[in-house]
Homo-oligomer: A and B are copies of this chain.
Amino acid sequence: MLGLNLQQLEYLVAVDNYKQFTIAAEKCFVTQPTLSMQIKKAEEQLDIVIFDRTKQPILTTPVGEKIIAQARVVINEYNRMEEIVREESGRIEGSLTIGIIPSLAPYLLPLFVGHFKKNNPLVNISFKEMITEDLVKALKQDLLDAAILVTPLEEKDIIEQALFYEDVLIYAHPQHSLHQVKSLKVDNLTSSGLWLLDEGHCFRSQVLNLCELQANVSADLPLHFESGSLDTIRKMVDAEGGYTLLPALAAQELVFDLHKQVKEFEIPVPLREVSLVYSRAFYKRLLLERLSVSIKASVPEEMLHKDRGHVVEWK
């Protein structure tokens, strides 16, 4: 035996995650000296330097990176033992921490959480809203069990499992030119009057992709304003004119009056592929399968197929 124990591995991973002994100690629910001692012992036992403490924030050495990557593997495999017991018991219980992007959270969550809770009463599910980049980071640090976001990501070590295909719609002010067009095609889109989400939001990238515009289009916009919320954007269209694009679930919940401003594209419609993604192939797969089932059962049936349109890339 090497001499390291699982606790020490957790400490190593924590320090690597938070790049600070004090914070890492807090997250591990121990005092800083305790963590310092164990890290030191680990380094002595392996006879390598894992963290360069002369730098601030702390730097993980190259060997350290490899060791910590392996430590993550060990911890994950270890945690799987718990699931094996649970799976064997046949009871669906445990906890799930799921990340979700802002352009889905307010519209998708209300749809399926009820269904999931009802069918899996013993599962403690919680959600964290973040943009894709942060979700991927959190997944790789094992801070999330899975995330619901728009794919394809083309991220190494991230597994994608498509959930549904959401139509991209147009929300145009009654006086905007697009409001009059009969049969809408992607080519009809212009930068004139277009409202956009903040940088970092994948839906912003998709919109820009669709309009074949450069990332920096703010010059063409009527007003230099960006928001993290689709609802805010939509309200700006109502108040100030112009138009924006809306994912179907965001459009779906609009009251009748507002719904008049929603226009569909002609077939093939642009779609965004919404997926459940995770980094650990076997971890909590039973619970994640239940989650997947709940989501698919809760979105409109036609969204489960993609043959009516084409998936919009965004990376």
Q: How large is the interface on A (under 10, 10 to 19, 20 to 34, 35 or more residues)?
A: 20 to 34
* Closest partner residue, chain B, to A71 (CB atom): B81
Asked whether A77 lies within 8 Å of B74 as measured between CB atoms, the reply is: yes
* Closest partner residue, chain B, to A80 (CB atom): B70
Given contacts A2-B78, A78-B2, A79-B2, contact A70 B84 (CB under 8 A): yes
Among A4-12, A102-110, A152-160, the one that faces the other chain is: A4-12
Given contacts A1-B10, A6-B5, contact A81 B74 (CB under 8 A): yes
A301 within 8 A of B: no
Asked whether A73 lies within 8 Å of B77 as measured between CB atoms, the reply is: yes
A46 within 8 A of B: yes
Asked whether A88 lies within 8 Å of B74 as measured between CB atoms, the reply is: no
Asked whether A81 lies within 8 Å of B4 as measured between CB atoms, the reply is: yes
Say how many copies of this protein the assembly contains.
2
* Closest partner residue, chain B, to A78 (CB atom): B74
List of B residues within 8 angstroms of A226 by Cβ: none
Binary interface profile of A, 223-239, with partner B (CB < 8 Å = 1, else 0)?
00000000000000000
A63 within 8 A of B: yes
Asked whether B46 lies within 8 Å of A63 as measured between CB atoms, the reply is: no
- Counting chain B CB atoms within 10 Å of each CB, the highest count among A67, A71, A73, A81 belongs to A81
- Counting chain B CB atoms within 10 Å of each CB, the highest count among A67, A78, A88 belongs to A78
List of B residues within 8 angstroms of A85 by Cβ: 46-48, 63, 67
A41 within 8 A of B: no
List of B residues within 8 angstroms of A4 by Cβ: 78, 81
Asked whether B70 lies within 8 Å of A77 as measured between CB atoms, the reply is: yes
Task: Give CA–CA (A81, B70) in the complex, Å.
Answer: 6
Interface residues of A in 200-244 (CB under 8 A from B): none
Residues on A lying within 8 angstroms of B by beta carbon are 1-2, 4-7, 10, 46-48, 62-63, 66-67, 70-71, 73-74, 77-82, 84-85, 88
For the complex of A and B, 5 pairs with smallest distance between CB atoms: A74-B77, A63-B88, A70-B81, A74-B78, A73-B77
